[in-house]
Amino acid sequence: MKVESTSSLIHVDPPGDHHLLGPANIILALGSATLLIPTMYEVATETWTTEQGGHGPIVLATGLWAVWRELKGKCIAQRPGKTALGIACLAVPLALFIVARITGILEIEDFAMYGALVSGVYFIFGGLIIRAIWFPLVYLAFALPPPDTVVAVVTQPAKIAISSWAVSLLQMLGYPAASSGVTIQIGQYQLLVAAACAGLNSIVTLSALCVFYVYLRHRSDPLAFAVIAVAAIPIAIIANFVRVLALVLITYYFGDAVAQGFLHDFAGLVMFVVALAAVFAIDELSRPLLMRAMKRAET
């Protein structure tokens, strides 16, 4: 294959040529490691060990596998990105990273780090690599914890809605229940609907798994991709509504200690499995309809 002198070929499998070990690339690699190691250590110890971020290691492992899958056996022309654009793309996340590192805002620091790493990939390999691995790059972002302000904005309406729905249903069934914002009162017990119970964990985790599932099964079908991605959010909300309702009833009949113990986490796990099964079922049920729509579009 004839290649212009200003570019070279990246043989991804086997690994790259010796020219990738030039001084500039080594400096960029060391700089990337300086950003990556301390930040990801904090993410792993502070976020991945919690219920909210427990999906992080799974996303990281499957995301790196997706990168390998996209690049395996391919020869992609290495044309380093445009200097001006590369500097502009790198300057913004680096500035955010420095500010977030100084102020200790991990949720901004990790995304700034990720943006800087992606910019470094563009600097070294150019836009062809970015286009080749665009899905793994988007998917890997699910491994990072979202900013607290985003969490608050997203979960507050969900928490209030779930609390109101649960109390309305309980009142219809004759239970002594009432709600005030995200607080549910039933009998002598008072429960706070936290973000974990309002669907945020399930939305993030379920969305990540659904995106990866659609990537494996419907990679070339944007319509199926959209259907499954959109279905994940209401399914997660409904599943967590059932979870909250079950925990309220458990608290009413067996006490707060029982509801906040093993059954609390077990209910979340069961509801997540049910939600994931519902997504798979929607995929199977919607496939004939999608195929008919595609056939009609072709004719």
Residues forming the active site: 197, 243
CA torsion sign for 180, 186, 189, 191 is: negative
Q: Is 14 helix (H, G, I), strand (E, B) or coil?
A: coil
Query: Is the distance from CB of 212 to CB of 182 less than 8 angstroms?
Result: no
Rg (CA), the chain: 24
Residues 6+ apart with CB under 8 A from 5: none
DSSP state of 182: T
181 sits in the region (left: phi over 0; alpha: psi -120 to 50; else beta) called left
Angle at 54 between CA 50 and CA 59, to 5 degrees: 150
Question: 194, 185 in Cβ contact below 8 A?
Answer: no
CB 239, CB 271: distance < 8 Å = yes
Please name which of 82, 33, 69, 110 lies closest in space to residue 212, comparing C-alpha atoms.
Answer: 69
Residue 51's SS3 state is coil
As a whole number of angstroms, the distance between CA 295 and CA 299 comes to: 6
Q: Read off φ and ψ for residue 75, nearest 5 degrees.
A: -115, 110
